[in-house]
Amino acid sequence: MKKHPHSDVVTSYETYRNRVARETIPCYEPSIGKEELRLVTDVIKRNWLSENKYTREFENRLAKICERKYSVAFANATAALISGVKALGIKEGDEIIVPSFSHSADPNSISNSGAIPVFVDVDSATMCLTKQTIKKAITKKTKAILYVCAYGNVSDLDAMASYAKSQKIFLINDCAPALFGSYKNRPIASYGDFSVLSFFADKTITTGEGGMLLSNNIALINKVNMYKHDGRRERGVDVIEYKGYNFRITELQAAVGVAQLKKAAYFVKRKKEILRSYSKKLSGINSVRLFTFNSDGAIVPHRVVIFVPSAKHLIAYLASLGIGVRNMFMPMHSMPAYDTKGDFPNTQEIFKTGVCLPSAPSLTDKNIEFICQSIKKFYA
């Protein structure tokens, strides 16, 4: 087997678990409690664990928040992406432009739909695609752009939408970590032919695992629903019209999601406060640059990100102190599954120099102070 290009940072799951167990300040932790327990208990008492009223409520509330007509809950954002790409009618040999600086869900959902992911670099200021970064990758086979809201941020998302329209190609908006963020007075999730959200444990609201696809296009939504429900029109119908999947969420998860929505305003406020607190405490350290989110929007930072001379060295030091720090997305084009040649300087630089700092709403000011003092000491 070929040596992995980033094998120095790849560890076994057990090593990872041991490392996380030693973290006295977690990188992220969900805030779940009494309200989640109350609604999950209600689901158990009702004795119907697959999709039911909480799933429909969760979908409806998300559609409203994101200013979309329709929404479909999923087992995770990856499943939502796969179903959405299939429902667009994208087929074998079609090309979809995707940033190399992305989650594995992005190229994987393209490939698993039979299409070809065409990797491009991102803009270093926003960590996202821009019109300029994708223009040279467009060919006659391009059917869509898979835009990724990296760490909750966006670039010129409105220009991207107009550009996709002018080229008669689809804009898929992977805003998995960007719920509650807005750009130019519109929810980020309202952009694109469809958008997807993730509710994994480190997202602004969580259902443990979970996802949502949102769109204004009813024909697309009907197809998405069929891919989600095994290829049939709805549950209870046994005729399989598409080669579909079981990508359903459970009612237990949806109940957690509904409970989380009650606390969402607090989570958003804390995330912004935490970023401001880091910004103050890290200023004046020459080797550290705090990533700034797009000021044309009200972005909700998914993570606090800093850039330093060597991410690897700072991460090793902070991890030895029990601080839960993480790498940025690894360049997808160089993963063994894709192994694509090309020039992706910004993607590579972000990976080499970017560090995600702890940023859970439960993070205390005392802990932020300790993390910043530790970084200061490392560069003294």
Ligand X SMILES: Cc1ncc(COP(=O)(O)O)c(C=O)c1O
Q: Which is nearer to ligand X, 148 or 372 (CB)?
A: 148
Q: What would the two tokens of residue 166 be? A: 């002018």
Contact 120, 133 (CB under 8 A): yes
Compare residues 267 and 281 and give the one whose CB is closer to ligand X. 267
Q: Per-residue contact track with ligand X, 94 to 113, x per CB under 6 A?
A: ---------x-x--------
Put residue 236 in one of left, alpha, beta given phi > 0 → left and psi -120 to 50 → alpha.
left
- The one among 26, 43, 58, 78 contacting ligand X by CB under 6 A: 78
Candidate segments 91-99, 171-179, 241-249, 345-353, binder of ligand X by CB under 6 A: 171-179
Which CB, 275 or 375, lies closer to ligand X? 275
Measured distance CA(259)–CA(253) in Å, rounded = 10
Q: How far is the CB of 280 from ligand X (least distance, A)?
A: 27
Of 281 and 329, CB closest to ligand X? 329
* Binding-residue pattern over the window 202 to 241 for ligand X, x denoting contact by CB under 6 A: ---------x------------------------------
By beta-carbon proximity to ligand X, the closer residue of 110 and 288 is: 110
Of 142 and 204, the one with the shorter C-beta distance to ligand X is 204
- Among 318, 334, 338, residue whose Cα is nearest residue 326: 318
DSSP state, residue 298:
E
The rounded distance, in Å, linking the Cα atoms of 183 and 197 is 16
- By CB under 6 A, is residue 76 in contact with ligand X? yes
Kindly indicate which of the ranges 20-28, 170-178, 293-301, 356-364 contains the residues binding ligand X, using the contact rule CB under 6 A: 170-178
CB of 317 to ligand X, least distance (A): 25
Q: Is 200 in the site for ligand X (CB under 6 A)?
A: yes
Point out which span in 85-93, 173-181, 218-226, 342-350 binds ligand X (CB under 6 A). 173-181
State both tokens at 153. 């941020």
Cβ 207 to ligand X shortest distance, Å: 10
CA distance 124 to 89: 32
The region of 52-60, 73-81, 340-348, 369-377 touching ligand X under the rule CB under 6 A is 73-81
CA distance 126 to 204: 20
218: DSSP letter: H
Contacts (CB under 6 A) with ligand X, residues 323-352: none
Q: Which amino acid is at 192?
A: G
**Separation between Cα atoms, residue 56 and residue 73, nearest integer Å:** 8
How many Cβ atoms from other residues are within 10 Å of residue 46's Cβ? 13
Spatial strand order in the sheet of 70-74: 70-74, 211-215, 194-198, 170-174, 142-148, 95-99, 116-120
Measured from the CB atom, the residue of 209 and 251 that comes closer to ligand X is 209
**Do 118 and 98 contact (CB within 8 A), yes or no?**
yes
Q: Given its phi and psi angles, is residue 188 left (phi above 0), alpha (psi -120 to 50 degrees) or beta?
A: alpha
193 lies in the binding site for ligand X (CB under 6 A)? no
Residue from 36, 59, 95, 174 binding ligand X (CB under 6 A): 174
| Largest interatomic CA distance in the chain | 67
**Under rule CB under 6 A, which residues in 263-302 are in contact with ligand X?**
none
Two structure tokens written together for 348: 């590579």
Contacting range for ligand X; rule: CB under 6 A; set: 45-53, 70-78, 212-220, 274-282: 70-78
CB nearer to ligand X: give 176 or 268.
176
**Which residues of the shown chain bind ligand X in the complex (CB under 6 A)?**
76-78, 103, 105, 148, 174, 176-177, 198, 200, 211
